[in-house]
Amino acid sequence: MNSKTASLGLILCLICLFNQSLNAQTAYNNQWPGFRGPWGCGYLENGKAPTTWNADSAKNIKWKTAIPGMGHSSPVIWNDYLFVTTAVNTSSNESLKVGLYGDIDQANDSAVHEFKVYCLDKNTGKIIWERLAHKGIPKSKRHIKASQANCTPATDGKYVVVHFGSEGMYCYDFKGNLIWKKDMGLINPGWNTTPGVEWGYSSSPVIFKDRIILQCDIPKTPFVTALDLATGNEIWKTPRGNNAQTYCTPAIYTKNGKTQIIANGYMNSCGYDFETGREIWKLGNGGDIPTPTPVIANDLIYLNSAHGKSSPIFAVRPDATGDITLAPDSTKNKYIAWSVKRGGAYMQTPLIYKGYLYNLQVNGQLICFDALTGEVKYKESLNEAFSASGIAADGKLFFSSEEGNIFVVKAGPVYQLLAKNALKDICMATPAVSGNTLYFRTRHYLIAVE
């Protein structure tokens, strides 16, 4: 073989590898593999989403499947498979208090629960298999508005990983075979100012490059960790200092072969090196019980929180290093492109779609920002209580109220309500999208709307 032939062969091999990588990336972007879809972005653009439907007449309702127990975890989808988790109280119906209130009360979950995983056919709603991951009295308490199955599963198309907090983590293949399980210890976040109060764990696992990334901000020893997807073995574990009592799912930022793990927080939101867990940067000034997931868009990292004295939104540059905390009288610095001191959300992850950031607060206040500058485009009240995060598809935004009313809003800098559709059931979970279909997880059902 001469040098020209060898060079041509190498070029063809590189082209083939590039095409394979591109095809894999395209396939991933059309799935809904974890909380808020591919890369946690909250939207898909490969279908035509419905605007109106009717739960009573079944107009545009593709299927409706009852799921026993209670869970606020979202459905995840890979090809034709849909996965969801639940916790079934074997003695009585679960108590759930929705609406706007300030109680810090815990539910009395003293009965045996069955912690289950369901796999459904996304096209028909038929249950393909169900598995009992764990059975026992919950080891940690939950808030009266939470569930014992808050964490959304994650999948890579081969494995599906589910996390039940103090009841452990479980990995299954798509046939329902248990690959491994892992005891993560007692995971019982509550409120910083009231030791002993437990509100339930809600940080969902994230899968990237054959690793599982977890954020466990528990009272005494908060940490972020990377586990091997195939075995559950720990690769690294990094302490989170005084970041106890947060409920955020981490995010992944990758560019030019470098990957960061982004973890929202109260005292410190941080970026960590994906390979080693080393802290790269940190940012203070957050709300004191953060729940929203960081969002990556426009080559910026968006952080959002609201509770106590602070309710900020930050747009962080990904080349940040060291302590980038703002001075008290500042809204930007070398590594923060823009920020607002008031206007963040307590529960919901912001939606960034087609150049605008939509921030929905628990009281229904919807604020639209220019995602690049932070300029406010509109403020509108939806006049209901919200816990679920917004999603988008086909130029439309979908916001699910706790009462099960889905507000369909036209994307863009001017507020336009296209429809308000009732699911006729409590809705605490963030919905999913696949193709032309929206998938809503309500208090009692999975509902496909097409």
Model confidence over 292-321: pLDDT tens digits? 999 999 999 999 998 878 889 999 999 999
DSSP 8-class letter at 21: H
Model confidence over 400-437: pLDDT tens digits? 999 999 999 999 999 999 999 999 999 999 999 999 99
Model confidence over 163-174: pLDDT tens digits? 999 999 999 999
Model confidence over 22-37: pLDDT tens digits? 445 556 888 999 999 9
How many secondary structure helices (H) and strands (E) does the chain include?
A: 1, 36
Q: What is the pLDDT of residue 18?
A: 44
Q: Tally Cβ neighbours within 10 Å of residue 333.
A: 14
How far apart are the C-alpha atoms of 173 and 176, rounded to whole Å? 5
Q: Confidence class of residue 7 from pLDDT cuts 50, 70 and 90?
A: low
Q: What is the pLDDT of residue 149?
A: 97
Q: What is the pLDDT of residue 441?
A: 98
- What is the length of the chain? 450
Which amino acid, residue 346?
Y
Which amino acid, residue 95?
S
For the chain, the average pLDDT equals 92
Q: Are 40 and 206 in contact (CB under 8 A)?
A: yes
Would the CA dihedral through 314, 320, 326, 332 be positive or negative?
negative
Q: Are 189 and 219 in contact (CB under 8 A)?
A: yes
Question: Which has more confidence, 223 or 46?
Answer: 223
User: Could you tell me where the beta strands, DSSP code E, fall in 218-328?
Assistant: 223-228, 234-239, 251-255, 258-263, 269-273, 279-283, 295-297, 300-304, 313-316, 322-323
With 90 as the cut, is the pLDDT of residue 11 above it? no
Place of tokens 């810090």: 104
3-class SS at 39?
A: helix
Q: Is the pTM of this model over 0.75?
A: yes
With 50 as the cut, is the pLDDT of residue 15 above it? no
Q: Tally Cβ neighbours within 10 Å of residue 394.
A: 16
Q: Confidence class of residue 157 from pLDDT cuts 50, 70 and 90?
A: very high
Q: What is the pLDDT of residue 190?
A: 78
3-class SS at 349?
A: coil
Q: What is the pLDDT of residue 244?
A: 66
β-strand partners of 262: 251, 271
Q: What is the pLDDT of residue 26?
A: 59
Q: How is residue 33 written in tokens? A: 């593999």
Q: Confidence class of residue 19 from pLDDT cuts 50, 70 and 90?
A: very low
CATH code linked to domain 31-449: 2.130.10.10
**What is the CA 355 to chain-centroid distance, rounded?**
21
The H or E element that residue 7 is part of is: helix 3-29
Q: How is residue 430 written in tokens? A: 């963030």
Q: What is the pLDDT of residue 9?
A: 55
Q: Are 332 and 339 in contact (CB under 8 A)?
A: yes
